[in-house]
Amino acid sequence: MPHEPKRRHSVGRKGKRRASIKLAKSSAVACPNCGQPTVPHTVCKFCGFYKGVEVVKKESKAKVTKTSI
């Protein structure tokens, strides 16, 4: 059997409670290898380096050309 509130909560009380519920801004740092913004303590998704060591091998984007026969 759920309990119902005895009194109505005021708008100010509701606002004080909800003031701490907010979105946090994510931080970004520049990659020391390529300079792109990336999440700290993770492998750079642009170049694949972490702390100066290549962890993920990234392929260079090669243009695909269509040849007519």
Q: The tokens 């100066």 sit on which residue?
A: 52
Q: Which of 2, 16, 46, 11 is nearest to 28 (CA)?
A: 46
Question: Is the dihedral angle over the CA atoms 14, 18, 19, 20 positive or is it negative?
Answer: positive
Q: What is the pLDDT of residues 19-59, one digit of tens each?
A: 988 888 888 999 999 999 999 999 999 899 998 888 888 77
pLDDT of residue 38: 92
Q: What are the extents of the domains in the chain? A: 24-56
pLDDT of residue 56: 84
